[in-house]
Amino acid sequence: MGQWIELVANDGFALPAWQVSPESTPRGAVVLLQEIFGVNHHIRDVAARLAARGWLAVAPALFTRVQKNVELGYLPPDIERGRALKAAAQALPGQGVLADVQAAIDHAAVDSGARVAVMGFCWGGLLAWRAACELYGLSAAVPYYGGGMTEPAELARRPGVPVLAHFGERDAHIPVAGVRQFADAQPAAEVHVYAADHGFHCDQRASYEAAAAQLAWTRSMDFLERHLVGA
């Protein structure tokens, strides 16, 4: 069973987060970062899947600084609205939403008493990558098709924790050539490319690719096992 909790960032800003706890003592924690559609049914479902594997899952509502209570679907009007909200969130001064990600990491560490990883999808994948490079208290990062990760400014970053990155070879938003550049620039990162499109993990989207989603999930769970428990 999940519940909404409140996080407070280092600048005093309060935001909600969806938390799902495992049935027994957490083996580790995962801060789950949303797509441009908010902490919607898909993100809550991923949180439940993580908790079923023994991880405490915390999904901060990262649009709260620009608009509260955002939960979108996947139709064109939802995509248009999500892109506008993302642009507004990206334009925030200072750390912006990364301060909220840090608040989720800090909370997850205390609540689980264990190591913390960050996992994100699309916009959340980009934020997971930035968190791996800029934030503290993490042991691993798992970005899925992070839009913008292949831009020059992102290629120049250096993560402070192990990174497992998933991309789709048919993703028009993230061309394979850019993924190759990312892999070359980040030799320490584990990079996988799947015969899939953008959003291939989400079974509520037309771009869902079951085989790719299952393989990426298996790799992600193994990766979390190694870096949250086995390290």
Query: Which sequence positions are flagged as catalytic?
Result: 122, 171, 198
Q: What is the Cα gyration radius of the chain?
A: 16
Cβ contact 203:178 at 8 Å: no
Joined tokens for residue 26: 């957490």
Q: Which residue's structure tokens are 């139709």?
A: 75
What does DSSP say about strands 140-144 and 14-20: parallel, antiparallel, or unpaired? Answer: unpaired
DSSP per-residue codes, 3-65: EEEEEE-TTS-EEEEEEE--SSS-SEEEEEE--TTBS-HHHHHHHHHHHHTTEEEEEE-TTTT
DSSP annotation of 165 reads E
Cβ contact 44:131 at 8 Å: no
Q: Which of 107, 129, 126, 127 has its CA nearest to residue 116?
A: 107
DSSP annotation of 49 reads H
3-state secondary structure of 56: strand
